[in-house]
Structure 1
């Protein structure tokens, strides 16, 4: 056959078969699950990674729709996402948490787009699923680090402010009270100056442990910096609930702590303010609890004061 001759049907068919197998081999080599469907949502093909994700072979998938392959709740999510994509005709990217056939639950990102194969007169959706589990874990870890006091493991000042803002909003809806206890250690500077910063760090960690011991699970304990701590109490109906917590803290702190063979006292002063009794905003709650703290110190330390205007 001359170089100008047209390829015959057999040659063309052979080339198409080779191209088909080449394409399948290429997408099988991609570690991310890849799939493609027609306009009715029936699977036209996929790669091996998608088979592993679903636990089904290509033969079991091809020609089937999501409602035939997945539980109805998940199938409806896929169906709605596909319909939205066809309507928008734009690239679709969204995150989801999915369960693989092996039972593992992973965070993934779907990348989907509409395709058109004009020669075959086929239109549909092609998608890839990227595993972002490690990225989400790292994001969560960094977020927790940003909101956690590195020394004690308590919430830090930023985290405390976030909790306080949300607690204030919940309090407005529930009509119950919200209390803030501001704590300051009475003799921490003496410990740092006389026994060194390692002893001071261990002392602060002991303080944190004792504070966590006296509050409810839902209460928020924070280290604001240095020797300053705070406790947020929600769903308070009476100030005596708050003073009871303050008394428990002082009782815990009345017990000395042994560090590096030294018996050290653990005194504290506590200032208390409550919404709506003493404040009507987060700012005024913090301000008035801080004033109450100075009032407690003025009384001789080792005690608590409820805000007095």
Structure 2
């Protein structure tokens, strides 16, 4: 993909323009801190500006999602190329599938200083394949919810008063029913089929 030659000076000139955009736009520095976002981004997350600017993904998203965002940011900085990928965001109404698009920003000395990104929702398909029609049991749904919030198998076992072996068996059953092979795949598939019911655990204090 083509490299982008944007600078913070260029972005500053266009801040008023970006505030007028309907598309959510945000800027992060090398430390993963949000240094700018437009009104559309705040509305998309349903968060006030002071809960976003100066904070990282770990302050506004569930741990599991924040980890995936941080990993994607690192890959962007390592490659210095435009990045587009599907992910999930936590909104007050629940989890939503989205597409992130990001481009590197350069400082006056041409060193990477951060990136600018946009996010747009993905329209979920209403088609469900035969392999995913089986519903999860209540216990499996509880295990999946805890797993997606970043809990380890050990902590899930403690929370649900189960053995780690039982939790592992539930995970195998979840993967089999959803026809997936990883935690992220399970999250996407479960979201599309309404198996997940995340609590909004963003930090408000």
Q: TM-score, normalised by structure 1?
A: 0.35
Question: Is the Cα–Cα contact under 8 Å of residues 32 and 131 in structure 1 kept in the other structure?
Answer: no
Q: Does 1:35 align with 2:26?
A: yes
Q: Work out which of the residue numbers 36, 53, 59 in structure 2 matches 1:45.
A: 36
Q: Displacement of 1:116 after TM fit?
A: 0.8
What root-mean-square deviation, in Å, do the aligned CA atoms of Structure 1 and Structure 2 show? 3.0
Tell me which residue corresponds to 2:75. Answer: 84
Which consecutive residues of structure 1, in runs of 5 or more, have no partner in the other structure? 1-15, 148-158, 164-217, 219-309
Evaluate the alpha carbon distance shift between residue 95 and residue 122 of structure 1 in structure 2; reply closer, same or farther with a 3 A threshold: closer
For 1:123, the equivalent position in structure 2 comes to: 113
Asked which structure has the greater CA Rg, the reply is 1
Residue equivalent to 2:166? none
Q: Compare the two structures and name the one with the higher strand fraction.
A: 1
Q: Give me the whole-angstrom Cα distance separating, in 1, the residues matched to 2:20 and 2:75.
A: 30
The alpha carbon displacement at 1:65 in A equals 1.5
Partners of 1:66 and 1:107 lie apart in 2 by: 16
Shift in Å, 1:97: 3.0
Q: CA contact under 8 A between 1:108 and 1:131: conserved in structure 2? A: yes
Q: CA deviation at 1:62?
A: 1.7
- Give the aligned length: 123
SS at 2:85's partner residue? Answer: strand
Give ranges in structure 2 of 5+ residues lacking alignment.
1-8, 132-176, 178-205
2:91 to 82, 100, 104: 100
- Matching of residue 71 in structure 1 with residue 62 in structure 2: yes
Taking CA–CA contacts closer than 8 Å with sequence separation of 6 or more, which of the two structures ends up with the larger relative contact order? 2
Compared with structure 1, are the counterparts of its residues 78 and 117 closer, same or farther at alpha carbon in structure 2 (3 Å cutoff)? same
